[in-house]
Structure 1
Amino acid sequence: MLNLTDLILGLLVCGIAAVFWQLRQISEIAEFHVKRVCQKRRLQWVSTARVQARLGFIPGQGLGWNTRYQCEFSTDGINRLHAIVVLSGKKLKDVEMPLYPEPEWQQAPESKGRIGGCGGGGGASSCSPRSGGCSSGCK
């Protein structure tokens, strides 16, 4: 027989699972937005972690989660910088990024060779410092 304690316990477990599922879905949306911002600004995404989640009223949506995420990104592959991403429900509300130096790899030549362009061993390229760089046109 099902008594009141079993019913309350079952509802409690279902409620916890629903909250976990909602927060996990919002975390995936936040990570998507962070990766898109990093790609747009030519940054290397490192990680995303939820810092805060509060249940509250969201204008136009009703009851929902207001969440903040701390994100790490890199401009050079060595240093890590932190940003804050704020979501209201499942919508991006704000991205707070610090000032950061422009990524140095934007000025680097793009490889166009069969295996990797300059020094790739896949053709007649010469990348000696005396010749002034790559002679096979991999700029």
Structure 2
Amino acid sequence: MITTDVFTDRLELHAYGRLTLDECREFELLSDYRIQFNGPLDLLLDLRELESCSLDALIEQVRYGRQHAHDFSRIAIVSDSSMVTWAAMCSQFFVDADVRVFDDEGMAREWLGVTGSAIGDASVDSFDQQIAH
């Protein structure tokens, strides 16, 4: 399960349990929409509660990262997993973003220079409503 908070200059994803392909695609819709209207974004990915990731979701993440190599400025990943740290370092070969891993969410937010007013918690339903208006 994921929750996504949308801000004017960044997206924040908090993952819990198992990450699925459908959840990845939901996040992609939200980020595509924000990128279209705001340009490159910062990301805060809180993966401390992530237990696993389906293989198709992992493949989708790599594909999406390569497709949007220039659309993210800074990516702050919050995790204490050495596997996540290793994957984050490998991702720098595919994206122009500055990717850093933190074990403390406050330090990640400080590095991002958290600014911008919150638009709110996002879901596909709220995203569809935004597009309809």
Q: Shared fold by TM > 0.5?
A: no
Higher relative contact order (CA 8 A, sep 6+): 2
Give the TM-score, by structure 2 length: 0.25
- Indicate the structure (1 or 2) with the bigger Cα radius of gyration: 1
Which has a greater percent of strand? 2
Which is richer in helix?
2
